[in-house]
Amino acid sequence: MIGPLDKGDVTVLSVLAAAYAITCVFDVFYYWRIILYLLTKSQESLLDGYLDNQKYFEASDLDVDVTGKIFMITGATGTLGSYLSLELAKRGGTVHMVCRNDTLCQTVKHEIVPESGNDDIHCHSVDLSLISNIHDFASGFLSQHRKLDVLVHAASAYNPNRNLTSEDLDPDFIVNVMSNYMLTTQLLPVLKYSAQPRVIMISSGTGVIHNLMWRPPDLEYGKYYHESTFFAQKRQQIEIASLMANMTPSVHYSSVDPGWVDSPITRQFPVIHYLLRNRLRTAREGADTALWIAIAEMGLYYESGAFYLDRKPAGKHLPRGRYRESPTAGKALITYLNNLTAEWYPDTVLMDFNDEIPDDEIYSTDEPAQSSTVAS
């Protein structure tokens, strides 16, 4: 078994974070939270944490026949998405793989079919960075299908530069945040036909580093800081799952920290990836909790809206490092997403808190410092 993160590892990681902070001393508290995350959360997010926690897993929880159930996986050719698609297919499920690259999707599908013995696998070519594509796909799916049992948002994007889409929007924000909300709300009519509908948003433990913003982070900062933007979007993702759990209690929502998985996004941090190369989780270990929530009866044991790591709820904030957040930030975020949708599709009704975004609301205005990777 790989040993715990020793003092030398913690020192190296802390020195890296501290050196990074020195270049941006105007935001000491933000980098204090990064160091705090490395000291208090990184251990459980690495392979070591999984190996410790799996001792308490019930192996029989995943021995489930899901024949007749319908699953949708976004980012289905990515590290976690492809693994989930395979495991669900092995158990007899109908799997709808939502991918940007249809050729790659077909390749993955042709690998899954013989290995699982299940040919009820379907590819959908959708660019989740475009609101128009999300809307058109959801509308088409509703017209052709009556039920959806589980929706897993596994697509994730991380870009070093702010390159806007043809819709003049930040592609990372649309993939990581908007697609989760918009696709879920549009598919609620078919989700509600399931006896136990579940929506799973694969987020990141780094989301606990950031405060909750009610609009795209780059609009808050006035600049683009790719690491902080990614953390902030993952924080928004966690909050959306929690808010939607209250808005539609008939559906079970969850957000998941897969831990530090050896993936294209992790490799965007070459120094950290090298230092932790033997401590990163595999796709199976990173996807375990999402799979458990998707199919296990115990996956519904905890309350809807929880944030999970290794089959149990995890804290949504850092100990001793919590931001001061506006109590209306979550509702304002939903209002922003609704308004953004209405700009493109005025007749599309998502959800409404009937709350206006306060003009003078006070939020933390950290400006952290600063490759394109999309799992789709």
Return phi, psi of residue 267, to 5°: -70, -10
What value, to the nearest 5°, has the Cα angle with vertex 93 and ends 89 and 99?
65
Q: Which two tokens stand for residue 257?
A: 């920290």
Q: What is the pLDDT of residues 300-314, one digit of tens each?
A: 999 999 999 999 999
Antiparallel, parallel or unpaired: β 121-125 and 94-99? parallel
Q: What is the pLDDT of residues 7-52, one digit of tens each?
A: 566 666 666 565 555 544 445 666 667 777 777 677 788 999 999 9
7-375: CATH, from 3.40.50.720, 2.40.30.10, 3.30.70.520, 2.60.120.580:
3.40.50.720
For residue 281, which amino acid is it?
A: R
Model pTM score: 0.85
Q: Which two tokens stand for residue 164?
A: 């806007």
Give the pLDDT confidence score for residue 150 in this predicted structure.
98
Q: Which two tokens stand for residue 355?
A: 């709350």
Question: What gap in Å lies between CA 285 and CA 330, rounded to an integer?
Answer: 31
Q: Which two tokens stand for residue 131?
A: 């609101």
Q: What residue spans define the domains of the chain?
A: 7-375
Alpha-carbon 204 to chain mean position: 6
CB 79 within 8 A of CB 264: yes
pLDDT at 367 over 80: no
Long-range contact list for 358-365, CB < 8 A, 24+ apart?
358/326, 358/328, 358/332, 361/214, 361/326, 361/328, 361/329, 361/332, 362/326, 363/211, 363/213, 363/214, 363/220, 363/325, 363/326, 363/329, 364/211, 364/323, 364/324, 364/325, 365/220, 365/221
Return phi, psi of residue 308, to 5°: -110, 150
Across 193-197, 205-209, 326-330, which has the greatest mean pLDDT?
Answer: 193-197
